[in-house]
């Protein structure tokens, strides 16, 4: 049954230009308007229509005008709810989409920012099998989070999103497709196990503590700070003493991760290994640098550095 419906939908989208018009991706922001909002009754809506019909025939048959009036009232309220359903989506705007980080095979978290000049409730957003619902205040932005499944590393286009609502009575379902022209970068999946990186980096000259370029910041003096760390020049312009703050003492050697060292492997395997090493370096708070064909990331550590390296890996052809 579900397969049949999907085939029917595919056929309809192939035949009806109105349905396919918005299949092409569009630039953000996307605002919903009447030409791209569709409304159909829900299953409950159809059932309710049958019920109304039964009530109508019954009321007419027994010439019960009060019952007929009630039936008309219910029917008119249902028809009005269709307009309310339309109005629930009309004018809704998808302002921008932000993506988190994820390695291939794991879902990536998308944050979609919707705004609207009217308050709205019970708007639902479907992406594949993920679904979420949100409400909006007037002139406010709602950040809606959704997980997008990923398969491969590299740039991945956002799929079509369905925004829909059965507000207010659940009798009608208004929906529209959103296809933002936006891609998200998926990081490579690290290999599970393998050799540690080449020990060339375990060099005595990298064992020094406190490398000059690791000076991180100046901070207020605290009792017990060594005198040679005091930044005398900077302190002259300041109320109190300032102390040069260094990164954690470097206890481990610096890794030089190099694409060229991994010869004799195919590209994806190289990327997977480098990704694993990067992950280990990150876990061990170890300094590392990365050389890739066309890209070079100087030595560093921390989450930003890790993200830079992984992005570079993900972008490899």
Partner 1 sequence: MTMPPPRKTAAPPIDDRAFDLLSLTMAAVFALHAPHLPWWLSVALAILLGWRWWQRRQRIGKVPRWLKLPLLALLTLAVIVSYGSIFGRAPGAALAIGLLVLKLLESETSRDARVGIGFACFVLMAALLFDQGLLATSMVALGLLPALATLRALEPAQRPTSLPRALLPSLALLAAALPLTLFAFMLVPRLDSPLWGAPAAGEARTGLSDSMSPGDFTELLIDDHPALRVSFDGAPPAPDLRYFRAYVMWDYDGRRWHYVAARHPAAPAPAEAGSTIGYRISLEPTHRRMLPTLDLPLAAPPQARLQQDREVLADKPVNAPLSYRLRSALRYRLQPTLDARSRRLGLRLPAGFNPRTRALAMRWRQRYGSDDAAIVQAALSLFHDGGFRYTLAPAPLGRDAVDDFLFSTREGFCEHYASAFTVLMRDAGIPARVVTGYQGGYWNRLGNYLLVRNSDAHAWSEVWLAGRGWVRVDPTAAARPQRVTQGAAAAAGDQLAWYRSDWLQGLRNRWDIVNRWWDQGVVGFDSLRQRGLLTPFGIRDTDTATLGVLLAVSSALFIALGMAWALLRRKPGDPLRDALRGIERKLARRGIVRRPGEGPQHYLHRAARALPGQREELAALMKCYLELRYAQDEPPAESLRAFRRAAGNFRVASVVK
For partner 1, the closer of residues 117 and 183 by Cβ is 117
> Distance between CA atoms of 40 and 174, rounded to whole angstroms?
7
Nearer to partner 1, 12 or 60 (CB): 60
> At closest approach, how far in Å is the CB of 285 from partner 1?
32
177 forms bridges with which residues in the sheet?
Answer: 162
Task: Give min distance, CB of 89 to partner 1, in A.
Answer: 10
Residue 186 in contact with residue 108, Cβ under 8 Å?
yes
Task: Report residue 115 CA to chain centroid gap.
Answer: 17
CA proximity to 168, closest of 93, 72, 69, 89: 89
Smallest distance from partner 1 to CB 39, Å: 10
Instruction: Considering the complex, state which of residue 137 and residue 157 has its C-beta at the smaller distance from partner 1.
Output: 137
Q: Can you tell me the distance from the alpha carbon of 64 to that of 267, in angstroms, rounded to the nearest whole number?
A: 80
CB of 84 to partner 1, least distance (A): 7
Distance CA 104, CA 184 (A): 12
Q: Which of 144/290 has CB closer to partner 1? A: 144
Q: Which CB, 109 or 247, lies closer to partner 1?
A: 109
Dihedral, 66, 70, 76, 78 alpha carbons, nearest 10: -170
Using CB under 8 A, list all residues that contact partner 1.
34, 44, 47-48, 51, 54-77, 79-81, 83-84, 86-87, 90-91, 105, 117, 119, 121-124, 128-129, 133-135, 137, 149, 151, 165-171
Residue 85: name the closest of 93, 73, 77 by CA: 77
Pairing mode of beta strands 255-258, 288-292: parallel
Question: How near is the Cβ of 182 to partner 1 at its closest, in Å?
Answer: 21
CB closer to partner 1, 24 vs 34: 34
Tokens 């048959």 belong to 61
* CB burial of residue 295 (10 Å; 0-12, 13-18, 19+): middle
In angstroms, give the least distance from the CB of 138 to partner 1.
11
Type and span of the H or E element at 250: none
CB of 86 to partner 1, least distance (A): 5
3-state secondary structure of 1: coil
Supply 95's token pair. 């302002």
Quick one: 29 or 75, whose CB is closer to partner 1?
75
């Amino acid at each position: 049954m579900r397969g049949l419906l999907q085939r029917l939908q595919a056929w309809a989208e192939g035949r009806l230009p109105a349905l396919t018009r918005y299949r092409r991706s569009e630039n953000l922001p996307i605002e919903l308007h009447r030409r791209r909002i569709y409304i159909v009754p829900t299953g409950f809506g159809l059932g309710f229509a049958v019920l109304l019909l039964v009530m109508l025939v019954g009321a007419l048959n027994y010439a019960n005008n009060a019952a007929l009036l009630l039936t008309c009232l219910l029917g008119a309220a249902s028809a009005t709810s269709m307009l309310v359903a339309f109005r629930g989506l009309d004018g809704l705007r998808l302002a921008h989409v932000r993506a988190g980080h994820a390695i291939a095979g794991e879902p990536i978290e998308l944050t979609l920012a919707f705004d609207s000049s009217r308050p709205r409730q019970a708007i639902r957003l479907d992406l594949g099998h993920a679904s979420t619902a949100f409400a909006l205040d007037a002139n406010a932005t709602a950040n809606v989070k959704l997980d997008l499944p990923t398969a491969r590393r590299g740039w991945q286009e956002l799929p079509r999103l369905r925004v829909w609502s059965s507000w207010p009575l659940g009798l009608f379902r208004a929906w529209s497709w959103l296809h933002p022209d936006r891609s998200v970068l998926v990081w490579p999946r690290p290999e599970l196990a393998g050799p540690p990186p080449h020990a060339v980096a375990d060099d005595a000259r990298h064992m020094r503590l406190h490398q000059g370029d690791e000076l991180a910041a100046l901070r207020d003096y605290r009792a017990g700070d060594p005198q040679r760390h005091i930044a005398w020049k900077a302190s002259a312009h300041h109320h109190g003493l300032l102390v040069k703050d260094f990164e954690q003492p470097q206890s481990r050697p610096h890794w030089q991760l190099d694409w060229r060292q991994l010869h004799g492997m195919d590209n994806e395997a190289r990327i997977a290994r480098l990704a694993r090493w990067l992950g280990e370096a990150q876990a061990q708070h170890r300094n590392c640098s990365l050389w890739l064909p066309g890209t070079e990331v100087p030595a560093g550590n921390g989450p930003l550095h890790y993200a830079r390296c992984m992005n570079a890996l993900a972008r490899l052809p």
